[in-house]
Structure formats: structure tokens, C-alpha cells
Structure 1
Amino acid sequence: MQLKKSRKIMNEETKNQKFTMSVELSVLEALGINLYSNAAAVLSELVANAYDADANRVTIDWKLDGERIVVRDDGCGMDVRQINDRFLTAGYKKRDEEGLSSPKFNRPFMGRKGIGKLSVFSISRSVTVYSMTEGGIPEGLRIEAGALQEAIKENESYHPEPVEVPDEYAVKGTTLILDDLKTKRAAITAAALRKRLARRFDVLDERSSEEGGFKIVVNDNPLTFADRQELKKLEFIWEFGEETIPSVALPVGVSRYVIEDATIDSGRNWKLKGWFGTAKKPTDLTDDEEAGSLKNIIVLARGRPIQEGILEKLDFSRLFGNYVTGQIEADFLDLDGEEFEDIATSDRQRLIEDDERVLALQAFLRKAFVGASEEWSKVRPKKEAIDAIKRFPKLKEWVDARPPWQRDSAEKMIGTIASLELEGRRAGEDRKALFRSGVLAFERVGLRQASEDLEQLSGVTAVDLLPLLGQQDAYEAGLWVDILKSRIRAIEQFQHLTSIDEKEKVLQQHLFDHLWLLDASWERAVAGGKMEENLRNIEPGLFAKEPEGDEITGRIDIRYATLSGRHVIVELKRYSVKVETNDLARQGAKYATALKSLLEQQQRGDEVSKIEVIFVLGKPPGTRGMALIAPEDFYKSQFAPINGRFVLYDALIAGAQNQYEEYLAASESARQLDELLGSLDEVSEE
């Protein structure tokens, strides 16, 4: 808002006109009610005013009883004239009227435009002001936003109501009490306010009051570096000129760098201070609901924000930019003098971008970021590798076992995987899977390098081949480890499905996906794999026929044809279902006859003898109608015509487990890699 400047001092006898405020309604709305969208920005204006008033301490009682905010400072205070001329005059140019710095501590003034005090109307409808100078008389007034707006509409001056000053506020300094709060804009917690204010000021010093020290206190607790949430997230930090952040404020193990040349223009003494750094993960900068997004770089001038975020203005698209946060001090952006234009927008959140100072800053930061990004790309994988190896000790054993020329690359591979930004609840599992794949792929890389070395030799002997064959064995064993482990998991899942008596359809799908459960020689790399196939659809234009010519209908659970021409029909029954041998034989004969018919119609009669039928059952089939012969002989007599047999789920599962676990136990190379890859599964990732 822009208040009309008025130096008129009201007659003391006209008490209700002791204070005078005049402002255009459009200015009030533009620069007060609507300019500031959050409470932290509003409180920042009041803190800046306290700093300019040579206060040593500004205290913020945030939302007392949930209904009011009290901001008080121990600065120089104001008398009636100063309240009218300075506080109630929008556009009061402090630097023109009072000089460039405060009288007591010689602080460069933060304020410039004289409109910050109007920000209070964006979060409050009623503001009470108490102020007192050293040895002066305490003064009090109340501004009601509604009454102010009415006066503006009537084109009249507004006279804030004089009020008595309570004893607790009759002290040197200034107090503002904000009542009738606007819920949405003031809807943050005291903890959130602390975090946001701590990031907006660079006045967290330990100087005494006599030395000009300045404290910001929220609900009786001073702000400290501990409130700077972005510092807690850092993995790397670059500081301009020298190290200024106390080590205690940084995480243990943070990597620190100094950009020694922080001069932008030596002739005009334009220099930078402050820092920027990278978090371990981009989400570390966006997950803090109280502090807001930390994924930006705030630019300060004279200790307070002048640009809320400058990263997007740097035309910097490298991955590094997704991890960056920081706070940069560039006092040359707020210079005084006729030759220097005020380049900050009214809300002090943006800069006029075509100013030479802004362009120089952007160019300098872009160059600094490029250099830091290159350094980061080199050292970060190594650091992440160290962290990963701490979590997975077996990885260290694996790295140490690499040939010397491979170890750096192995560590970099581990660090690269460890530093990848993975999202979702399965991020930890996905990273472990990448480690597994990376280890196996690295084995292959090593094999290829060994092959290339041998190609340079003439007259290769058996002695030369032994290292290569040893690496190839390790690589193949590693591949088998992954295959075998996945198969054991498939076996366990299949066992679970049978134990809960799952429906045939579910068992059918699982067995179709893992036909090696029936026979280890059956892989997916065979021809003609079909599941639940209608006999009419096996061959387009053909239908299965009985010898008499009648069509055969039905659905085969699973049909497989191997590359050698072997045709397998699989029929599954639910685990708890009891079936008779005669019924199975009839069903199997129907399917075998149908398939035989189709093969003969395609002139593939030589493959008819290779048809076989397998029944997968939970219990042995019944032997109703069996003569006085052994059950095994009865089964053989019934199933022989269709080259058939049955297998029980329990036997199938036990056989598969024994087969693959015996292989794991027998292969030393596989065992070693299995221990490594297994260790990745055993450690939880935070």
C-alpha cells in the first residue's frame, strides 16, 4: 500500500485526532491486504523494523490463546511525532530522512520503501501499537482495518484510536498486538514460524547487546542455527570466501568446500558471502511441511531476503540443481545513491531482472554452480559408496576381492546406485535389486576386460586361459544365483497356493509361468506355450475329430511343445479334489486324441508318438475298478495308452526345492555370490 505522506501533528486537545493516517484504498489493498500471502513474510517486515530501530531483541508471542500475535522490541521506540511521520506514513523513505544506517549500532538499514508496516493487515484486522522512547512518554493507538477502509471510501483521513498503555508495555521500544486474525493466512504453527524466520535472516550471531547483537525470540525461545532446517539436510556445502557456518550446525560428515574468489566486481567491491549446498536426496528438501520447501536459494541483502529463489533464473539444468539449497548474501543488490535504482519488488521476494547487478550475480552463480556440480559428480559416488558399504559389509568384501584396476570402478558403481533418487514405498527394495544387478553386470564387465587383455597376447597358453575361465565361471555362477533364488521363491509361493487350496485357475497360471517346476529342462524358450486353450483355437481353420469324424470339444489347461517336437498336455486339479484314475484316463485320452487329429491334419504324423499327458494332483487318484494288481501297475495300465503320468503337488515342490538348493550348496562360486546378494536383502534401508 502507499499511504499519503502527512507530517501534520494533531492538537493534543483534540484527543480523538491525536494520530492521523491517510491512504488510498487501492494502495491499502495492493500493498497491505493482498501483497503478503504468508505470515512468515509479514513477521519478517516487523523483525526488520526492530533491527533498524537498534533493538537487541525482538520477541514474537505467536497466537497467544490462539487469537493474537504480540511482537515487541527493545529498540529506540517512537514518540507521537515519529509515530505520525514514520509509522503512519506509507512510503516514508527511512534512508532519505534518517541516513543509511541506524544511529546507535550503525546497522545498514534493512527497510527502504516504507510500506512494510502495512503488511500486518494481510493477517490481522486489528492492530494495537505501543511505543516509548528512552525517558519519553508511552504512546498507544489502535488501527481497525474496517474503519480504515471506510475512511478511505469517504475520502477522509483516518484517525487511529488513542489507547492507554498497560504497564507491561510502558518500556522503551515498540510493541504491536495483532488481533482478529485471518485464519488462513495465519494458519501456521510456532515451530513452522521459527523455521521460516530462521531462513529469512542472517542475524543469528552471538554478539552481546553492547556489541549490537540481535536476537529473534519466538515464544520465549531464541532462534539459533538449529532452526535452520536446510543445514541439517546437507551432504556437501560450498561457502563463499571462508567457512562461516559453525560446524555444530552441520551434519556429521558433511563435506565442506570454500570458493575463495567470491568477488563479482573488484572495482566496485561487489562480493558474495553465504553458502549453497546439496542434500542427500531431492526429497530431503521438500518433505518438511513446517519449514516449507527448502529447494531454493534465498538471496539476502543487508541481512534480509531480497530474492526468495534464484535457482530457476540461472538456466542451470544439470542434475545437481535438484539437490541444491542455500542462502547467499549480496549486499550490492541494495546499494544507496542516485546511480543505483531500487531493484527489489514491493514484497521483497523478487528482483528486477535486467539490472546489471542481477545479471552479474546470475552469471557468477552459474559459473560457481558448474564448478561445484563437476566436483559433486566426482566425489559424491565415492561418499555414497562408503555409506552403502557400511550398510552392506559384504559389498566391501566383494570390492576388496576385485583386481586393483577394478576397485575404483566398482566403488563408483556402488556409489552411483546408492545415490540414485528412487521414489515409492519399494524404493529400498528397488535399490537392493539394482545392487544385485550391478554386481552381476560388473562381473561381466570384468570378464570382457580379461578377454580384451588376452586378445593382445600371441601364443595364448592354458596358463593364460585359466584366469579368464575362472572369471567366466564366477559370472555364470552369479547369473545362476539370481535364477535359482527366484525359482526358490516361486516354489515357496506355489507351496503357499497349494496349502490354502487355491483354485485351479490360480495354480494353472503359476505353473504355466514356471513350467520348470514340472521338469527342470522345460524353459520358457520353447515353442507353442499355451494356457487354457480351446481345442477349436489350436489351429485356425481346423478342428479336432474323433476317428468317426465327430468334433472333439473342450479346453486344455496347459499345452506345451518343445523345440524337439515333444507335445505336453498338462491337466491340473485342485489340491483337495479326489479324482478317479479311470476318469483321468478318459479325459487325457480325449485331449490326446484331439491333438493327434490336429497334428495329422497338418501332416505332422511323426510327432503323434511324442504326445504325453501329465496330471497334477493333490492326492493320488482313486483305483475304483482295479483288479487284484498293485496300484502302480493299475496306473501304468490306465495311462500307458496316452503316454501319461501323474505328479503330486507335494512331491513336485519337494523335488524342485531339493534340486535347486543342492545346486546352490554345491557351487562354491555361487555360494559366495549368494551370501553377498543375500546380505543385500537382509539389511533394511532407512
Structure 2
Amino acid sequence: MDDRLVMQVQMTVIDHLGIQLYSHLAPVICELIANSWDADANNVWVSVPEVAVDESSEIVIRDDGEGMTFQEINEYYLQIGRNRRKNLGKDRTKGGRKVIGRKGLGKLSAFGVADEVMVETVKEGRRVAFVLNIHDIRRSEGLYEPPVLVDEPTDDPPGTTVTLRKLKRKRPVDIESLRRQIARRFTILGQSFNVYLNNVEITLDDRGYKLQYKWEIDEWVDPGKQRRIKGWIGTLEKPVREDFGKGIVVTARGKLIHEPTFFGASGGKQVAYSYMVGVLEADYLDDDPDKDLVSTDRSSIITDSEEAQELFEWARKKIAEISEEWSDKRAREREQVIKSLEIVDSWYRKLGTHEKRLADRVFRAIASVPDLPDEKAQEFIEYVIDSIDHRAFKDLIADFKGTEDELKLLELFREWEVLEAKEMLRVMEGRFATIEKFETLVRENAKEVPTLHNFFKEFPWMLDPRWTVWKDEATYSNLLKERFPEGDDVPEENRRIDFLAVGFGHTLNIIELKRPRAKAGKKEFSQVQEYLEFIQTYVREEGRFSDVIAYLVCGGIVDKAEVRTKRDIARRVGIHVLFYSELMDRAKALHQELIEKYQSLKERKKTAEQVGETRSLVAVGKSGD
């Protein structure tokens, strides 16, 4: 038997499918936990440093699975890209579990957060330990022989321990956040599969969802094709925190395959989306060994497949339906809360039948607005109590019929919105002037470096509506200019205008501005990928940002299949293409919607003025009583 371990791999594979796809800790640890599941482990112990990370820090993932022999390490573990299910002709483990692993790439994820991985495994009374080092792999030129540290008999039980060493991160690990992320990426926890983080078991309760309402899901997406969806969708009592992540995840075989999403839904009561979370189990998306419907990093479904489109269409309808039900449930419950208030209860009981119906109509309108502050609702309630005894107010309420009219009544109460709208219009008029200026720059194919650079610096929301303030990271843009000077052989129409670097939250955004008429081809996409990899090195060393995203801003892309494929690959590793025309259209659409909203609010003001007249009548009525 060969006493060497041999791994054949191109460094570009590790770069593109390991380092670049897995730069965050939680997905890496989850890939290794999934390996333990596939090894029929009943227990997995994850050890993560709880203090500042230094050169001696290690992350350890240990399980009590079946382990590997020396031969299995060579034939299976060190074979990159091996389709386990297809090669072995079965998709279940010896213990009967559905195999999660598919592409044989999960092990590479470790290099996204560590430079060295030590694997120690026991099977059939023998212990084998070896080390994978990213720098040695780079120098191996495709044929790497990991050093064997141990190959000896042992009485220890079977199992595997993976130790991540020489960690790239410098920031301390948020243990509670990590626990929450692991819990949300699996549905198999507790099913004879226990995962412990620093000796404390992770359960589904660690997802941290305190649901107000929950809808159980068990439906056929297409009964004829036997595509079944199970799981749940729920809503919290308050909007989901940004660090929690609103939306619904999709899992297959017990593990996440699509990050939180709303599947492009836009129907129903959209305010409900801010409260909504959920888990949909769609095993059929990962059951066919010959058809891979999930992205390489196992974080998103390939959306152009028939199966995905069918799921997304079903999900959009379901989300819209649930949002309507959520709105109705919230309104009815809040209405009951209003009626139970001490100030309301004694007053309501004294009302006649007709007055109760009128009060119910107003209370239901108030309760139907989920974002209405309690103090404002209290103000409206007191207004109703003070006014309902007067004929003019009763007549006003009686004129409202049905849900639409209830909303109109609420608009009368919310006259203050019109004042806010006036200020909004002032801002919008300024922004429309900005859009017109941008149109001129694009039309004239702006060439001067300061022109577009300064424009985006002053108006960053043109690049991304979230960027209201420009946080210039000149250090990184200067590094890019020095490292990647543009040659004289680049045609004038395709030349670069400038590099920009924008900090937003924990993300560094690298932007290359091309001429407005420039078209990107394979060469441009390769260049942007080099920029991204270059900057990621500095970001990891400094620890200021947890993520880096690259943007190529240009006039379009070369209309070739190979270029479109290159763009799709680039998107998966954090590279996005923005067309000047798209920026302009998006800005127009967004701000036109706000202008239309203002016009609507101006109409409300007319109605609000009617209320003022009605209040005057009420005052007259009071003075005459």
C-alpha cells in the first residue's frame, strides 16, 4: 500500500471555490459540520476562541463519526470535486442518512478562514493525522503531498478532528451570533445529531426567533411532479433586526441551500415582509445526482432552472397570502387590545348599538396600521372618545363604508404626514436635478477623471440608494491605482476613468469607473477579479472590514456567450456590473415613485382640511350644549 498522501488540485480551484466563496466563519464551520453528518456522527464538538484571535488561536471541529482509513483519505477525502453520490451510486450513508455533501468542495472552504488545516481521523483501530497548508499547496504546482504526522494503531473510538490553524481573522468571534447562524443553517439538529459550540449544545431554539404568528407549510409545489415543500413561515412581534436577517431560507437534506429571501415577492401587505422569517424544506432540489440546482458555495438556488422558477412562483403567492392574513390577524388583535384599555372599556360599554358600530369602524382602521406608534394611536383613540357624541362626527364616520373608506378615515387622522411630504418634495426636486446632470455626463461620454469621480462622491446614492453619505477609503483606491496602472494599449473608448473605494457598514466597496460608452469583455472581468483578490489581502490583515465587494461601472458588456458566462461567475465571488443606463433608470424609477407618493399626500391634505372644518363644527356643537 502506498504510504504517501497525494492531492491533485489547481490553485485556481482553491482560490475560486474555497478562499473567495468562503470568507465568513459560519458557512465554513457549517460545511465541516455537514461532513460530520455524512460520516454518521451523532455528536459534533466545535471549539472557537472566545478571546482575541492571535497566531496561536485554533478552531476545532471534532466528531464521533466513522472516521477514515489511510486509503479512504487518498481515494475520497483528497479528491477534489468528487461527486460522492454519483460515484458511489447511492445518496444515503451507511446509517441511512441522506448525504448532504455533493461536490467534494466543502473541505476547501476551510482555506477561506485559515492557512493551515490539520486532520486527525481514527477508523478500524488506526489513527492517521496529516496537514494541509495553503502556501505549500501553492508551491506544489498541482501535485501536493500532505505531510503525514501520525499513522499508527490506537484503541481510541472512531471519529475525525479538523483543526483550523493560522487563522486569517484578527477580530474576536461573536459566539452568540455564530451559534445563531449555525442553528439557522440546519434543520437536522437534535435528530440523533447533536452539535456543541464551546461545550454548549446548539438547538433550533438558538435561531432566536420569538414568533408572534406561525404558518406550518406542507404542500405540493406541483402535485404531478411530486415536488413537496415543508417547513414554516412566521412573523415576529416587531420588525426583524438587521443583524438577524429577515426573509425565508430554503434547505435541502437538512442544510441551507438559499440565504434568506422573499423570492421577488411584491404582492400582499408588503409591510409584513419586515416582520417575516421562515424555513422551507425542499429536498427535491438536491435529490437528482445528475442535476445540480444549487450554487457552488451552497448558498443560493440556480434561479434559471425550471424547478427554481416553479418554487419561486409558489413562494411569491404564499408570501403574499400570508402577508394578508398577518395584517388581518394583527388588526383584529390590536383592536381587542384597544377595547380592553381602561380608558376605552368603561366608555365603550355605555355606548348604544349604533355608536358601538361606529367606534368599531374607527378602532379597526387605527388597528390596521402596523407602524402606527402607540402614542399616536392613543391620541386618535382619545379624539374618538371626545368626539363620537357629536352628530357631525357620527355623520363623518357613517359616510365611510368598507375597508377603503376606513383607510380614508385614518388618513384624516394622519394629517401630519403631509407636512413631512413637503420636506420630501424639496429633497426630491434636488435629486431630479442631479439625475438630469448625470444624464448629461453619460450623453457626453465624460472622460475627465474628476468629473464622474466628484459627481459620485457628492451623490453616492446614484450608485446605491443606501449610500446617503460617502465614506471615502482613499487608501484602497490609491493602492489599486499603483498596483494596476492602465497601459497605453487600451483603446480610448474603453479607458478607465478612476478607482473609487467606499466603506458602508462592515463592507468595503471597490468601484472601477469606465467610460460611459465602454463595454466590458473577458479581460475586464479578469482584471476586476484581480483587484478584488488584491484588496481582500489588505482587508484581512487590517480587520477593518468583514467583506469586500467589487463593482465595474461601464456602458455595457460585449455580446458574447463566453462574456455572459464570465459575468455570472464573477457575480458569485462578489463582483457586480453596473451599467450607466441602469443607474439612471433606477434612480428615475425610485424617485418618481416618491414624487407620486407626495402627490397622493397632497390629496390627503384636502381631506384633512375637511376634518378641520368638521372639528370646528364639533367645537360649535360643544359650545352650544
Unaligned 5+ residue runs, structure 1?
A: 1-8, 13-17, 208-212, 242-261, 456-478, 480-666, 671-686
- 2:465 is matched with none
- 1:327 is matched with 279
1:440 to 383, 386, 404: 383
Residue 451 (structure 1) shift: 4.2
1:308 to 259, 270, 273: 259
- How far apart, CA to CA, are the structure 1 residues paired with 2:175 and 2:18? 23
Contact 1:130 1:169 survives alignment (8 Å): no
2:258 is the alignment partner of 1:279: no
Residue 322 (structure 1) shift: 2.1
- 1:397 is matched with 346
Unaligned 5+ residue runs, structure 2?
A: 400-412, 414-618
Write the letter of the residue equivalent to 1:436.
E
For residues 66-77 of structure 1, what are the structure 2 equivalents within 5 Å?
Answer: 66=53, 67-77=57-67
Contact 1:380 1:415 survives alignment (8 Å): no
2:89 to 94, 99, 102: 99
Residue 438 (structure 1) shift: 4.0
For the residue of structure 2 that corresponds to 1:113, the secondary structure is coil
- How far apart, CA to CA, are the structure 1 residues paired with 2:193 and 2:131? 28
1:41 to 27, 30, 34: 27
Contact 2:259 2:300 survives alignment (8 Å): yes
- How far apart, CA to CA, are the structure 2 residues paired with 1:237 and 1:54? 32
- 1:225 is matched with 204
Aligned pair count?
A: 397
For residues 425-464 of structure 1, what are the structure 2 equivalents within 5 Å?
Answer: 431-441=374-384, 444=387, 447-448=391-392, 450-451=394-395
- Closer, same or farther: CA 452–293 of 1 in aligned 2, 3 Å: closer
- How far apart, CA to CA, are the structure 2 residues paired with 1:215 and 1:126? 26
- How far apart, CA to CA, are the structure 1 residues paired with 2:284 and 2:398? 63
- How far apart, CA to CA, are the structure 2 residues paired with 1:280 and 1:415? 19
2:296 to 346, 349, 354: 346
- 2:558 is matched with none
1:108 to 98, 102, 109: 98
Residue 53 (structure 1) shift: 1.0
Write the letter of the residue equivalent to 2:206.
D
For the residue of structure 2 that corresponds to 1:383, the secondary structure is helix
Contact 2:64 2:160 survives alignment (8 Å): yes
For the residue of structure 1 that corresponds to 2:331, the secondary structure is helix
- Closer, same or farther: CA 42–433 of 1 in aligned 2, 3 Å: same
1:136 to 122, 125, 146: 125
Residue 364 (structure 1) shift: 1.4
Contact 1:131 1:173 survives alignment (8 Å): yes
- Closer, same or farther: CA 415–47 of 1 in aligned 2, 3 Å: farther
Contact 1:68 1:181 survives alignment (8 Å): yes
Fraction of identical pairs, as percent:
30
Q: Which moved more, 1:160-169 or 1:81-90?
A: 160-169
For the residue of structure 1 that corresponds to 2:166, the secondary structure is strand
2:97 is the alignment partner of 1:148: no
Contact 1:61 1:219 survives alignment (8 Å): yes
Residue 83 (structure 1) shift: 1.0
- 1:29 is matched with 15
2:331 to 381, 393, 397: 381
Write the letter of the residue equivalent to 1:319.
V
- How far apart, CA to CA, are the structure 2 residues paired with 1:57 and 1:127? 21
- 1:658 is matched with none
TM-score, scaled relative to structure 2: 0.58
Residue 388 (structure 1) shift: 5.1
- How far apart, CA to CA, are the structure 1 residues paired with 2:364 and 2:154? 60
- How far apart, CA to CA, are the structure 1 residues paired with 2:155 and 2:181? 27
For the residue of structure 1 that corresponds to 2:7, the secondary structure is coil
- 2:77 is matched with 87
- Closer, same or farther: CA 412–79 of 1 in aligned 2, 3 Å: farther
- Closer, same or farther: CA 419–374 of 1 in aligned 2, 3 Å: closer
Contact 2:327 2:368 survives alignment (8 Å): no
- How far apart, CA to CA, are the structure 1 residues paired with 2:132 and 2:378? 65
Root-mean-square deviation (CA, aligned residues, Å) is: 3.2
Q: Which moved more, 1:74-83 or 1:312-321?
A: 312-321
- How far apart, CA to CA, are the structure 2 residues paired with 1:421 and 1:167? 66
- Closer, same or farther: CA 412–362 of 1 in aligned 2, 3 Å: farther
Residue 187 (structure 1) shift: 4.3
- How far apart, CA to CA, are the structure 2 residues paired with 1:197 and 1:408? 51
- 2:221 is matched with 264
- How far apart, CA to CA, are the structure 1 residues paired with 2:186 and 2:196? 13
Contact 1:128 1:143 survives alignment (8 Å): yes
Residue 223 (structure 1) shift: 1.4
For the residue of structure 2 that corresponds to 1:309, the secondary structure is strand
Q: Alpha-carbon deviations, 1:407-443, whole Å to 9, x = none?
A: 4664575566567565xxxx9xx53134213431575
2:189 is the alignment partner of 1:237: no
- How far apart, CA to CA, are the structure 2 residues paired with 1:408 and 1:366? 36
TM-score, scaled relative to structure 1: 0.53
